[in-house]
Amino acid sequence: GAGVSQSPRYKVAKRGQDVALRCDPISGHVSLFWYQQALGQGPEFLTYFQNEAQLDKSGLPSDRFFAERPEGSVSTLKIQRTQQEDSAVYLCASSSGQGVNTEAFFGQGTRLTVV
Amino acid sequence: GDSVTQMEGPVTLSEEAFLTINCTYTATGYPSLFWYVQYPGEGLQLLLKATKADDKGSNKGFEATYRKETTSFHLEKGSVQVSDSAVYFCALSDRTNQGGKLIFGQGTELSVKP
């Protein structure tokens, strides 16, 4: 596709359920990032992949959060035993390089609501 | 740790008014600075960037100058349009971080009235 695609766009989960959020980056993009955006706040970094390697997961808030990118393309962010504080928009971004001068392209996000 | 602080919104202006959105940062290294924009119903888009002191980023009539002495990167536009209504995010990236991960401010909502 032309841009970063995320699915589903909206997800409602009952507290305690597991969820999986998908990101399709721009074809050929090496770097992939996940961010969490709470209502009225700026995005906060969760994790970073370079190809299939997860090089930075310092932003994952707990061990209930897990991300993978097994073939260096599509990525999945999984949240186990969801809690109400997990309600947020989850953004995925990809870029063609790995430096600060490489533009990151963002998807529209997945809005997760935990009830 | 590194952080970004933006002026709080919402900011409401009339069409053709002058816009300033303040942004200041704290960083241990020498970051690159960015402004992103999020139009209603769309994803974040890079608006402009600057990678070293005194650089001026510009795009679509918006400008911001990297001021190392005041640790600021204020966004300006001389004459706003209704179509500029959006949420604007200031961000930095520590150049020592090979991943180029971004640290964002909290966002400033701009509403332009005709």
pLDDT for B60-83, tens place per residue?
Answer: 999 999 999 999 999 999 999 999
Please provide the average confidence, as pLDDT, over all residues in chain A. Answer: 93
Provide mean pLDDT across the span A20-31: 95
Q: Which band of pLDDT confidence, cut at 50, 70 and 90, is reported for residue A99? A: low
> How many angstroms separate the Cα of A43 from the Cα of each of B69, B88, B89, B98, B114?
26, 12, 9, 19, 30
Of A43, A98, A109, the CB nearest to B99: A98
Q: How far apart are CA A21 and CA A38, in angstroms?
A: 16
Contact B25, B106 (CB under 8 A): no
- Chain B, residues 60-99, CB within 8 A of chain A, namely 89, 91, 93-95, 97-99
DSSP 8-state assignment for residue A72: S
Contact B15, B84 (CB under 8 A): no
Q: Which of the residues A89, A100, A105 would you substitute to probe the B interface, choosing the one with the greatest number of B C-beta atoms within 10 Å? A: A100
pLDDT, tens digit only, all 114 positions of chain B: 889 999 888 999 999 999 999 999 999 888 999 999 999 888 899 999 998 899 999 999 999 999 999 999 999 999 999 999 999 999 998 766 555 689 999 999 999 999
End-to-end CA distance of chain B: 41
**C-beta atoms of B101 and A102 within 8 A:** no
